[in-house]
Chains A and B, each alone.
Chain A
Amino acid sequence: MQLLIVEDDEELAAQLGEQLARFGHRVTIAGDGRRANQALGSTHFDAIILDRILPMMDGLSLLKDLRDHHILTPVIMMTALGQSRQKIEGLESGADDYVVKPVDPAELNARLQALVRARGWTEQREDETLRAGDVVVSPARHSAWRNGKTLRLQKTEFKVLTELARNAGTPMTRAMLLERVWNYDFEPATNLVDAYIRRLRIRLTEFGGEDPIITIRGLGYMLRE
């Protein structure tokens, strides 16, 4: 992916750039809004990682400016303020996702992948059936099948499977699942996500077959495509 990091803390930006480069991304760093605009004028980016607080022009204003000029590049806001109000403000200003500093590069990478993938869904309807290998999920019918056999899933198990199927082939971090399935803006102290994945695995392999969920150590889970 071609990425633009807009961050005034040079050291942090350089570290993040180096870490994202390890995931195979090409990274450009801009220290402020003006440089970000210059970079955007000359290069096509797949996604922008935008710090909320910047000298001269803050992240929110830059984002509004981009959206006003119909630049729809996916934006992940990055901020040191972990408060939910700022999170809502960021999303309302047109950000696609939001990460709180300190940013875990693996988490950021997972979010970037999910974000870019989600951009391909513009044609996808809400009632469309999701397919991942031999797993089929119909959110509209609230049903899931594996190899044509109906899976008996409890409400939350179904939500987890839907989220994994929607992002099949892309790792979903625990934080992403907590936000999307449980809608929690806090991190539980117990392994809630892992407990549900364990249950889901039992349901998915009830009628035999290989476990379709891959554990990505220290990050999260991914459903095979």
Chain B
Amino acid sequence: MLLKSLRALTIAFLLLFLSVTLATALGIYFSGRSTTDHLIERRMTAVSMMIAPAAVEADRLEDIRSRLIAAIQDRDMADLGFILLKDGKPVVSNMRIDRPLPVGLSYIDGADRIGGLSHGRALVRDVGQGVRLAVIAKTEPSDNDGASRKHIYLLGFGSIVAVVLAAAMTFTLIIRKRMVEMRRAMDAISKGDLSRRVPVNGSDTVFNLQAQAFNRMLGCVTDRMEDMRHMANGVAHELRTPVARLRNQLNLIAHDPQAAPVRDKIGKAQAQADALLGIFSALLRLAEIDGGARRANFAPIDLASLIEECVEELDAVAEDSAHRLVTQSLEQAMVHGDRQLLSQMIVNLVENALRHTPAGTDVRISLSREQAGEVLLTVADNGPGIAPADRAKALDRFGRLAGSADADGHGFGLPLVASIARLHGGSVELGDAQPGLKVDVLLPSQPVG
């Protein structure tokens, strides 16, 4: 078994514990029995030898008989049974047994119907001259001693197992609960909710300290990200003003009659300044989306209708560029989101396909409900596509593909789509439409109706 999961580890521990406990219980039970048997055998042998010593004598029977009677009367040996036989006939005995006992050690049980004896041992010795002495002893201090001992073992070891089982389960549940809390926080953070933290209480338990340390780390990471965002935001803001001045200056120069010979060049410089301002606008838009403030405007949006609306609007553009927009099945789906941003996402996806594929290309749009409360928006074309190695670059805001950013494009279309999807707790994946590019946007959905 692979001990990689908490459950496997717990089960392995419990199985090991159960085997060791069972082995211990059986060991104690059987070693107890064998010790008792051994002590009883020794006692029987000693008593038998005392009554009938090994040495053979002429008046043997009489001596044995008198020692036996004394033994029977001895209180210390009241728990023992004796049968003295001469030529197979009983001479002296304090108990009856219906079968001939074999010479040597043998077992006695309930079938021998000896009152008060359910388990015992018998030692039978031939002491010569047709005389045979049987000593019988109980191996159980009381009736059904074995059963009650088993009962005690079951109860004792059973409760130990139950306590350990409960402890292991509780321990597992506590660890699991903390892990789940941490995982939920991490999931929420990966989906863009940077304010999410692992729940903590005031205690100084190891779990709590761990959660606090984790939250501190998250705090540092989000602070750094915030700093970076502010910096990017600040740079875009700060640079926009001088570039705007530059563009205004170019505008003024362009209107000057003296500038007539270089007006074309001024026009190019103006276009470049405009492209730069376009990049700043896109960066600020990205910063606005990444900042998460737009979550405040989130409302239930009928995504299928919104797609239909946006695609209908873009149909005129597609017609102009000789593309065909095909809306495939649009399943009803509600998402919790920002209408403007979701519109921008759909428009950007379709525009991306229109702008990067040749005339005559089909652009297919579909929306399907996936398992686990998610919806999948797919925009696929049958154009040239993007090589697998370049797909990650296409989603990177500064990884524009060689030759893909045309004169009027800043190459932020797909990164904006990715940012908007992330803000809505979703993700974007580029794939092969065989042929062409397929963009899958997975978004969490709300129940319809």
With A15-B245, A19-B248, A83-B284 as known contacts, state yes or no: A185 contacts B340, CB within 8 Å: yes
Q: Let me know if B344 and A186 touch, CB within 8 A.
A: yes
Q: Let me know if A198 and B320 touch, CB within 8 A.
A: yes
Within A64-86, the residues touching B (CB, 8 Å) are: 80-85
Instruction: Tell me the dominant secondary structure on chain B's binding face.
Output: helix
Q: Give the distance in Å from the alpha carbon of A198 to the alpha carbon of B285 in the complex.
A: 30
Shortest Cβ distance from residue A132 to the other chain B in the assembled complex, whole angstroms: 22
Q: Let me know if B344 and A19 touch, CB within 8 A.
A: no
Contact of B255 among A22, A192, A196 (CB under 8 A): A22
Q: Which residues on the B side are within 8 Å of A11 (C-beta)?
A: 245
Q: Give the distance in Å from the alpha carbon of A43 to the alpha carbon of B282 in the complex.
A: 40
Name the 8 nearest CB pairs between A and B, nearest first. A102-B244, A195-B316, A15-B248, A195-B317, A190-B317, A186-B344, A83-B288, A189-B351
Q: Does B319 contact A (CB under 8 A)?
A: yes
Q: Let me know if A84 and B284 touch, CB within 8 A.
A: no
With A19-B252, A102-B248, A189-B348 as known contacts, state yes or no: A195 contacts B240, CB within 8 Å: no
Q: Let me know if A15 and B249 touch, CB within 8 A.
A: yes
Q: Which of A101, A186, A190 has the most CB of B within 10 A?
A: A190
Residues of B within 8 A of A (CB): 237, 240-241, 243-245, 247-249, 251-252, 255, 277, 281, 284-285, 288, 293-294, 312-314, 316-317, 319-321, 340, 343-344, 347-348, 351, 354-355, 408-409, 413
Contact of A189 among B255, B293, B413 (CB under 8 A): B413
Residues of A within 8 A of B (CB): 9, 11-12, 15-16, 18-19, 22, 80-85, 100-103, 105, 156, 182-192, 194-196, 198-199
Q: Which residues on the A side are within 8 Å of B409 (C-beta)?
A: 189
Q: Let me know if B319 and A101 touch, CB within 8 A.
A: no
Q: Let me know if B294 and A84 touch, CB within 8 A.
A: yes
Q: Let me know if B294 and A82 touch, CB within 8 A.
A: no
Q: Which residues on the B side are within 8 Å of A15 (C-beta)?
A: 245, 248-249, 252
Q: Which residues on the B side are within 8 Å of A9 (C-beta)?
A: 241
Q: Which residues on the A side are within 8 Å of B252 (C-beta)?
A: 15, 18-19
7 contacts between A and B (CB under 8 A): A16-B248, A84-B288, A101-B241, A156-B316, A184-B347, A189-B348, A190-B317
Q: Which residues on the A side are within 8 Å of B248 (C-beta)?
A: 12, 15-16, 19, 102, 105
Q: Which residues on the B side are within 8 Å of A188 (C-beta)?
A: 347, 351
Give 5 new A-B contacts, CB below 8 A, not counting A9-B241, A102-B241, A188-B351.
A15-B252, A83-B293, A84-B288, A184-B347, A199-B316
Q: Which residues on the B side are within 8 Å of A182 (C-beta)?
A: 313
Q: Which residues on the B side are within 8 Å of A80 (C-beta)?
A: 237, 240-241
Q: Give the distance in Å from the alpha carbon of A83 to the alpha carbon of B294 in the complex.
A: 10
Q: Which residues on the B side are within 8 Å of A101 (C-beta)?
A: 240-241, 244
Q: Which residues on the A side are within 8 Å of B293 (C-beta)?
A: 83, 85
Q: Give the distance in Å from the alpha carbon of A103 to the alpha carbon of B281 in the complex.
A: 13
Q: Which residues on the A side are within 8 Å of B241 (C-beta)?
A: 9, 12, 80, 101-102
Shortest Cβ distance from residue A103 to the other chain B in the assembled complex, whole angstroms: 8
Q: Which residues on the A side are within 8 Å of B321 (C-beta)?
A: 190
Q: Which residues on the B side are within 8 Å of A18 (C-beta)?
A: 252
Q: Give the distance in Å from the alpha carbon of A89 to the alpha carbon of B39 in the complex.
A: 99
Q: Which of B277, B313, B355 has the most CB of A within 10 A?
A: B313
Q: Which of B237, B244, B255 has the most CB of A within 10 A?
A: B244
Q: Give the distance in Å from the alpha carbon of A22 to the alpha carbon of B136 in the complex.
A: 133
Q: Which residues on the A side are within 8 Å of B354 (C-beta)?
A: 190
Q: Which residues on the A side are within 8 Å of B343 (C-beta)?
A: 184, 186
Q: Let me know if A190 and B351 touch, CB within 8 A.
A: yes
Contact of B285 among A105, A186, A190 (CB under 8 A): A186
Q: Let me know if B340 and A184 touch, CB within 8 A.
A: yes
Q: Give the distance in Å from the alpha carbon of A195 to the alpha carbon of B285 in the complex.
A: 25
Shortest Cβ distance from residue B149 to the other chain A in the assembled complex, whole angstroms: 80
Q: Give the distance in Å from the alpha carbon of A83 to the alpha carbon of B285 in the complex.
A: 7
